Amino acid sequence: MYFILFAIVFSEYVPGFVESKRIIAIGDVHGCSEELHDLLTKLDITEEDQLVFLGDLVNRGPDSRGVLDCVHKIRNATFLLGNHELRLLNFHKTGDRSILKPYDYRTLACLKEGDWEFFRRMVPTYYVKEYETVFVHAGFLPGIPWNEQPLDVILNIQLVTPEGKIKKRSKGLDLPLWSDLWQGPPFVVYGHTPVKNEVERGTWSLGIDTACVDGGSLTAYILPSKEIVSVPAHEAYLKRCLK
C-alpha cells in the first residue's frame, strides 16, 4: 500500500516521471467504418495513447468515407502508407486509369480535396526504439536492413522467391512468407497479408491483418503489454463491395 501511495505521489511531483503510454497498432481497415468504431470503443482510447494505423484504410469495404472522417478526428496518430493509398496517389498524380482497380472508383468518388494531402503525409514506417519494434504495411526482405528497403517492397511483400524477389501470395504457390525468414531485431508489426481471425506470429514478427473486410476481424496490437484486441466483422463485405 505504501508503495502504491509513493508511486502516485512520485509521479505527480517529480518532473520526467511518466507511466508507460500505450502504443496501439491497428491493422488494415479497408473501409470497415463500423468495425473501426467498435475497436476504438473497445480499446477505450485516451489522449495519452499513440495510435499507429498500418495502411490500407480505404478500398474494398463499404465505407471508406466513414473511415477517413473517423481517423481525421484522432489527434495522436501515425498513419502508414499502404499499397491502396499509394495507387490512389499515383492516379491522382498521373491520371493513368490503367493502374486502377474496379473498387478504386467508388473510393475516388467519396474523396475530398483534403484527403489527398492526408495520403501524402502518410509515412512508410514507424520505428519505436524503446521497444525495438518497427511498424510497416507489408514487411521487409530478409537479409537487408529494414530502413534501406524500397517502397515497392515494404508496401507489397508477402512471399519470397529463392532468388530473393517478392511475390504476392496465391493458391498453389509454395513459397515462404517473408516473416518466416525475417531475423530481427527489430521486431516487425505488419498488415497486408490477411489471415482470417488470427494474427500471424513469427519469432521476430506479428501480422495483424485479420481479414476484417472478408468477414474476419479488425485487430489491434498494444505495447508495452503486447496485448491483442479484436472485434468481429459485421459481415463479409468483399462479394457485395467488389461488384
- 3-class SS letters over 63-116: CHHHHHHHHHCCCCEEEECCHHHHHHHHHHHHCCHHHCCCCHHHHHHHCCHHHH
More confident residue, 184 or 121: 121
Question: Rounded mean pLDDT of 234-238?
Answer: 93
CB contact at 8 A, 217 and 36: no
The answer to whether residue 53 is domain-embedded is yes
The answer to whether residue 190 is domain-embedded is yes
Work out the pLDDT band at 239, boundaries 50, 70, 90: confident
Sign of CA dihedral 222, 129, 4, 46: negative
The answer to whether residue 2 is domain-embedded is no
For residue 168, what is the DSSP state?
Answer: -
- The yes-or-no verdict on residue 42 having pLDDT over 50 is yes
- The yes-or-no verdict on residue 11 having pLDDT over 60 is no
The answer to whether residue 229 is domain-embedded is yes
Domain count across the chain: 1
The answer to whether residue 192 is domain-embedded is yes
The answer to whether residue 194 is domain-embedded is yes
Question: Rounded mean pLDDT of 34-40?
Answer: 98
The domain containing residue 56 runs over which residues? 23-72+81-241
Question: Rounded mean pLDDT of 222-232?
Answer: 98
Q: What is the reported pLDDT for 174? A: 87
The answer to whether residue 200 is domain-embedded is yes
Torsion angle defined by CA atoms of residues 154, 159, 165 and 170, in that order, rounded to the nearest 10 degrees: -110
CA–CA distance, 22 with 223 (Å, rounded to integer): 6
Q: What is the reported pLDDT for 86? A: 98
Q: Dump pLDDT digits (tens) for 73-129.
A: 998 999 999 999 999 999 999 999 999 999 999 999 999 999 999 999 999 999 999
> What is the CATH classification number for the domain harbouring 214?
3.60.21.10
